[in-house]
Amino acid sequence: MRLVNMRPGRQTRFYLLALPFLLVAIAYFAGSGARLAQNPNDKLLPALPSMVQAVKQMAFEVDPRTGSYLMASDTVASLGRLGSALAISTVAALVLGILIGLLPGANALLGPFVSVTSMVPPLALLPILFIVMGLGENSKIALIVIGTLPCMIRDLAMKVQELPREQIVKAQTLGASTWQIALRVAMPQTLPRLIDVLRLQLGPAWLFLIAAEAIASDSGLGYRIFLVRRYLAMDVIIPYVAWITLLAFLIDVGLRVLQRKAFPWFASVRAE
Amino acid sequence: MSAIRFDDVWKEYGDHIVLERITMEVEPRAFIALVGPSGCGKTTLLRMLLGEEQPSRGQILVDGKPLPAEPDADRGVVFQRYSVFPHLTVLQNVMLGRELRDAKLIGRLFGAARRAAADDAMKLLAEVGLAGQESKYPSALSGGMQQRLALAQAIMRGPKILLLDEPFGALDPGIRADIHLLMKRLWNETHLTVVMVTHDLSEAFGLATRVIALERSRNRPEERERYGATVSRDLEIFPRRSAELRTTVQPAPAGTTRSGKEHQPGRPGALVLKGQP
């Protein structure tokens, strides 16, 4: 049988899915074991027990200096920044995307500007943000917004423009004003697509969050990783990276579920 | 119920003349079928009637007044595809016109007004044979049902003119026969002037009061750009067909709607209805 026709069953699919994860784990622990056998004080590839010990200390024991659970307070700080930045980006992208996608005049005015701004490398703006807004929360949130918003607007405007012209005409023959078209035709159909756009921007958003926290911050997941880097504390860094990955994965799954539950009509539209 | 008048209408795109010298009168309550080969400008003519395109020369008058330059609620439309909104249920699709008319700011009705609109919409749905489908999304309907829904949605808003752009072109023959019956009934029971673009000559002669053929008179390659299509035939159907002025809107008599069978196009009996009233 040809490879293109071989479809794995449920069980095979599960094993196949687990295989790459297992291989990475095996490679890591083999390497770790070999290094630790040579030098028990090696810090580069810590063994599982030392990582468990570090997580226990970071997550479940009160830090004597700050009086808080460090991993929890880092997570809250980071998710707060990410959440408020993405909230701003999402709302702004929805409004501007519909405006640009629906109104030819707004497209002429803002379309090229958004395309150009989406080419500006956001990290290059970080010094400017720090100078203008200080080192506090605002500059970090601003970095994430600047990093994600132009692309979101551009993608969303494109999705609005992809709505069949027939629908816009049909709405007008039902007596809809421009405002009503935006409210009853464009926006409800843009919301599920907005979730797609948001999911695509989650990666960049995390990137800019960690970068901003690494450079100037006193809390957050990125801050912690770069802080303990000075002590080569791989036993903290690796669990933190895994934790960030898990958070990002869960947010992505959550958005996918939200899209399926809140917009049951969307799956068949996308399939067309 | 509106009279339409084309007054020496031309449509050109740059140097390319698509339509030329279109002059015709359409009497109120007529059912016009526009036929002609592909690319002869049938759809362009319909889009001009819709207000989506403007004539390059001449003008179109409706009841003596120049046609507004953009689509409005006086002119309903059903396209071959994308005529209904995929994010609204069947009932919401039909109610939309009423909601847009009565709630200018938020485009939604609540409470008693909403219930009244829903009641009217349900009556209309029953009439086009979509009773029991009201909470489905359009993607769950067959092609024929979607076009019934599009008709109901357009009629709910009470247009004076109904424009149909190959509305039944993508349907199976049996389903098409059923929806032709529905179309005839709607035309009889509402006060519509209908203009339909179609490829199907038997559909044109079966439904319309008048069949208008558009054709290019000069078709040599070097002439194609500079000579557009114009009205080449204007046939009144004989024996003369005219809309009955039945004022009461009755629910569908048994047997004239077969929506329940639409998902089984090959089923025996689907064609039985041909040649009924």
Q: What is the mean pLDDT of residues A146-160?
A: 94
Confidence of residue A12 (pLDDT cuts 50, 70, 90): very high
Q: What is the 3-state secondary structure (H, E, C) of B240-254?
A: CCCCCCCCCCCCCCC
Q: Given an 8 Å threshold on Cβ–Cβ distance, is B87 in contact with A173?
A: no
- For the ranges A113-122, A219-228, B231-240, B254-263, which has the lowest average pLDDT? B254-263
Query: What is the tens place of the pLDDT at every residue in A58-109?
Result: 888 888 888 888 889 999 999 999 999 999 999 999 999 999 999 999 999 9
- For the ranges A23-32, A166-175, B15-24, B154-163, which has the lowest average pLDDT? B15-24
Query: What is the tens place of the pLDDT at every residue in B247-260?
Result: 444 444 444 444 44
Q: Which residues of chain A make contact with B137, given a CB cutoff of 8 A?
A: 264-265, 268
pLDDT of residue B227: 81
| Gap from A194 CA to chain B (nearest CA, Å) | 15
| Gap from B219 CA to chain A (nearest CA, Å) | 31
Q: Which of A179-183, B60-64, B122-126, B185-189 has the highest mean pLDDT?
A: A179-183
Q: How many CB atoms lie within 10 A of CB A5?
A: 6
pLDDT of residue B13: 87
User: CA A162 → CA A31, A91, A110, B78, B192, distances in Å?
Assistant: 51, 20, 18, 20, 32
Q: How far apart are CA A176 and CA A45, in angstroms?
A: 64
Q: Given an 8 Å threshold on Cβ–Cβ distance, is B50 in contact with A176?
A: no
pLDDT of residue B230: 83
Residue B40 has pLDDT above 90, yes or no: no
Nearest CA in chain A to B81: A166
Query: What is the tens place of the pLDDT at every residue in A129-146?
Result: 889 988 888 999 999 999
Q: How far apart are CA B253 and CA B148, in angstroms?
A: 16
Query: What is the tens place of the pLDDT at every residue in B203-241?
Result: 888 888 889 888 888 777 777 778 888 888 888 877 777
Q: How many CB atoms lie within 10 A of CB B89?
A: 17
| Gap from A30 CA to chain B (nearest CA, Å) | 53
Q: Given an 8 Å threshold on Cβ–Cβ distance, is A269 in contact with B139?
A: yes
pLDDT of residue B1: 56
User: CA A172 → CA A176, B52, B74, B79, distances in Å?
Assistant: 5, 10, 10, 14
| Gap from A205 CA to chain B (nearest CA, Å) | 30
Query: What is the tens place of the pLDDT at every residue in A27-52?
Result: 999 999 999 999 988 888 888 888 99
pLDDT of residue B245: 56
pLDDT of residue B21: 86
Q: What is the mean pLDDT of residues B55-69?
A: 88
Q: What is the mean pLDDT of residues B28-57?
A: 88
Q: Whole-number mean pLDDT of chain A? A: 92
Kindly provide the ipTM of the predicted complex, given to two decimals: 0.82
Q: What is the mean pLDDT of residues B103-112?
A: 88
Q: Taking the complete model, does pTM exceed 0.90, yes or no?
A: no
Q: What is the mean pLDDT of residues B174-184?
A: 86
Q: Given an 8 Å threshold on Cβ–Cβ distance, is A180 in contact with B107?
A: yes
pLDDT of residue B261: 41
Nearest CA in chain A to B53: A169
Top residue of A177, A184, A190 to mutate, by most chain B CBs within 10 Å, is A184
Q: Given an 8 Å threshold on Cβ–Cβ distance, is A167 in contact with B82?
A: yes
Q: How many CB atoms lie within 10 A of CB B64?
A: 8
Q: What is the mean pLDDT of residues A239-268?
A: 94
Q: Given an 8 Å threshold on Cβ–Cβ distance, is B137 in contact with A264?
A: yes
- ω before B239 within 30° of 0 (cis)? yes
Interface of B with A (CB under 8 A): 50, 52, 70-73, 75-77, 79, 81-88, 96-97, 99-101, 104-108, 137, 139-140, 153-154, 157, 159
| Gap from A158 CA to chain B (nearest CA, Å) | 18
Q: Which residues of chain B make contact with A171, given a CB cutoff of 8 A?
A: 85, 96, 100
